[in-house]
Structure 1
Amino acid sequence: MSKFLFIRSTNLETRWPFVPERVVCRLQEIGEVVVVNNDDQSPISVQMDLSDIDGVIFWDGGPELTDACIEAAPRLKMVGAVADNAGMGLPVEALFTRDISIIDGTRGWAQSVAELGLGLALSALRRVPWWHQRMRSEAPETVWQYEADQYCDDSRFVNGTLGSKQVGVVGLGQIGRRVAAWCDALGATVGGYDPFISKEAV
């Protein structure tokens, strides 16, 4: 049976309610799980024996994973962490040398961030904050007296329909691709730029 080490900060639930429990439940479906509540930044190999560990999952800080840790874990096959696309904070070369898989947890919230970005763009186009402030501060009989072609538009402001716009997306990673696809679905003319992705990949 595989054995996993789940390393987490002591106050993880305050930032991510329910997540730690679900992570443990999912891992228990495929093996034994050892949970370490630890804010100590020293290498994990100094703190405990890694000789029988098959996978390490880091979430929200905790001990450092170093080259020495990889050497101390001969059975290690995967490392999961909230890092970035370059594996920041991980001994990438040592992991690649051992052919150990790296699972980037940051992609897990790409959907919610992309939705927020699109929501803010639509809110700005339709001037929702401005109208909200008017409704709170002005008399009801004057709020709706405006010159516009359609609801929430203004003759002094560009038309608020996304479908009539040209949209540029800088960065076509997990978030940018979603935003670009949704803008395209809403009828916008979409262009994107990312120096790290080829046209074929897009």
Structure 2
Amino acid sequence: MKKTIITLLLICLSIYLYVNAKNPTNKPPNNKITVKSNQIKCGDSIGSHNGITAYYNDGFNSCGSGRHMSSDGYSYGFKWQCVEYIRRYYKDYYKHEMSRWGNASDYFRNNLAHGAINTERNLIQYKNGHTEKPKEGDILVFQNIAPPYGHVRLVTKVNGSVINVIEQNTGTSCYSTLGLSKNGNNWLISDECTGFLRKEE
């Protein structure tokens, strides 16, 4: 019993001496301060595609507030939501404007035929898992992410079985990849993508 107590005391003493050697002033380590000073702040730039910047929005918690408006009065959407990036990209890069209403899930109209014009966005709409392959500039719509709001991503590149995308409101990185597979003549995008929209050439 005595031997056990002495052993425990020696272990405790060793831990105490180790901690104090690492932190001799007995002040708590400043790890939190370091993390805070390196944190990305709301509205900070986290990347871009074709010169259109994506901004940090603290994931789905949304740290932005109010609408983001263009110089000519067009509503990009609420800062810095996923829809805001899509609307700003299409307006600033393609000079294409869309109806301002709706969440990301509303960008895909479930009753439209594959390849029909989505008149609310004035874009061609394609269903996932059909004959059309996605390409750069397409808007991918995910109705099953964070329902009923949904999520949208912009295709930046398609390379074999990998789709590169840029997006807002998903954390500190705006870049991610999705899988693309082919079954016969049909193309399937991963992550339960509902479908995609494309500007007519």
The TM-score bracket by the shorter chain reads: under 0.3
Q: Which has the higher contact order (CA 8 A, sep 6+)?
A: 2
More strand by share: 2
TM-score by length of 1: 0.22
More helix by share: 1
